[in-house]
Each structure stands twice: as C-alpha cells, then as structure tokens.
C-alpha cells in the first residue's frame, strides 16, 4: 500500500464526496463499466475505485426499490426485485468493509503509539459507513433537485422540494465535516479506527433457517 499522510487521507475523503455527487449525474446519462473482479485497493486510486463500486450498488438499489413500489407490479416482478435488493445489499456491505479495511491499514502507521487516556476509543460509525451515507445523500440530492425543477407541478410542491434540497445539502456538508473531524480524532489519539464486519446472514444458505431447512427437506 502506498504511504499516505493524514493530509493525503483528508484530501482523499473530500474527493470521495465529490466523486459521489458527480457520478450520480454521469450514471443517469450512461452506466459505468467495472471489471468483473473487484481488485484489492493498493493506493488512493484503488480506494476511489472501491468507492465508485459501492456507490454504484446504492445507485442500482435506489432504482430497483423504486420499481418494487409500483402499484401495478405483479408477484414475479416483486420477487425479482427482492432478490436483486438482497444481492445488492450484500455487495454494498462487503464494499463498505473493504473501504474501512483500506483506511485502517492507511491510518495504522500514522497513529500515536498510545491512545489518549490509555485505552482505545472507537466511533459508533466507521468512515466506510459514513461514505455509504454520503452516497445515499448524493442520490437524494440528485433526485430532489429533479423534483425541484420539475415542470407542470404546483408552485408549493416546488417550494417544498427546494426546502428539502437545502436541508439535504446541509446534511451532506455536515457529514463531510464530521468525517474530517473523526480523522482529526485519530491523528491526536482520541479515537482509533477499526473494521466492523456485518456478517449478513440472510443470503447464506448455511445460516438462514428458511434456506437450510428447505434444502434439507424439513
């Protein structure tokens, strides 16, 4: 892995929020192309590749979930959407873990040798999870902007969407600052980064009773 400084990591995380915002607009014009294999992130460029793949999961989830809410959808379409949602959620969470693993490894040589107060303190949310929230906010902002600019609707509807858009933009800016604040906590030894694994059970036929009991013929 390339050696990154705290300033390098801060710049990289700011870039993440920029990439998420621009990608949403780009992907509504043309879908991205990714290699079938997910490469190991060895540097900042590889990390941004992982981030884009994770963002692409949320992009697809957004539109599959919209389709699943159609009132005229038949049972077969709903079932297809459910399978797609489960698969995308699994991929989404796997990629969050890989984002966090890269960051933990990048931070490791930079951290103070001993945490302040003599014990390791951890945040309730990892940076990878925060970046996932940034991805979803980027999607919300794009689609709320569409509604705020929608033709042929009442003025009060446009005003409502514009108010919501302002709140979403503020929340996204706050999230970015909170991520950078967490990096600062790491740099001075107040907190230490860690990967938290989800261990999703519903897609694993060994762990989901509805799958393994059916397979056994129970």
The pLDDT of residue 214 is 63
More confident call, 50 vs 213: 50
Please report, in angstroms and rounded to a whole number, the separation of the first and last CA atoms in the chain.
Answer: 49
Q: Are 122 and 87 in contact (CB under 8 A)?
A: no
Question: What is the average pLDDT across 50-69?
Answer: 90
Taking only the tens place, the pLDDT of each residue in 84-105 is 888 999 999 999 999 999 999 9
pLDDT at 51 over 60: yes
pLDDT at 218 over 60: no
The pLDDT of residue 106 is 97
Q: How far apart are CA 90 and CA 170, in angstroms?
A: 29
Q: Are 198 and 126 in contact (CB under 8 A)?
A: no
For the residues of 153-207, what is the DSSP string, one character each? S-HHHHHHHHHHHHHHHHHHHHHHHHHHHHHHHHHTTS-----------TT-TTT
Most confident of the following: 30-34, 81-85, 128-132, 202-206: 128-132
pLDDT at 120 over 70: yes
Question: How sure is the predictor about 211, in pLDDT bands with cuts at 50, 70 and 90?
Answer: low
Domain assignments of the chain as residue spans, ordered by start:
6-207
Question: How sure is the predictor about 2, in pLDDT bands with cuts at 50, 70 and 90?
Answer: low
Taking only the tens place, the pLDDT of each residue in 14-48 is 999 999 999 999 999 999 988 888 888 989 999 99
């Amino acid at each position: 892995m390339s050696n990154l400084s705290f300033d390098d990591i801060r710049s990289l995380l700011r870039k993440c929020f920029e990439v998420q915002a621009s990608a949403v607009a780009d992907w509504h014009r043309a879908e991205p192309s990714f290699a079938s294999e997910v490469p190991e992130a060895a540097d900042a460029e590889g990390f941004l590749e992982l981030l884009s793949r994770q963002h692409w999961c949320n992009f697809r989830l957004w539109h599959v979930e919209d389709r699943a809410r159609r009132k005229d959808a038949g049972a077969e379409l709903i079932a297809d959407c459910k399978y797609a949602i489960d698969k995308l959620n699994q991929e989404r969470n796997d990629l969050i873990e890989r984002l966090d693993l890269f960051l933990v490894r990048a931070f490791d040589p930079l951290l103070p040798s001993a945490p302040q107060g003599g014990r390791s303190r951890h945040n309730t949310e990892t940076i990878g999870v925060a970046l996932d929230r940034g991805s979803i906010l980027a999607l919300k902002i794009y689609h709320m902007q569409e509604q705020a600019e929608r033709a042929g609707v009442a003025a009060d509807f446009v005003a409502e969407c514009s108010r919501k858009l302002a709140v979403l933009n503020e929340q996204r800016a706050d999230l970015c600052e909170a991520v950078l604040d967490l990096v600062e906590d790491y740099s001075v030894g107040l907190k230490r980064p860690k990967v938290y694994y989800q261990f999703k059970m519903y897609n694993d036929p060994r762990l989901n009773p509805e799958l393994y009991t059916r397979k056994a013929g129970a």
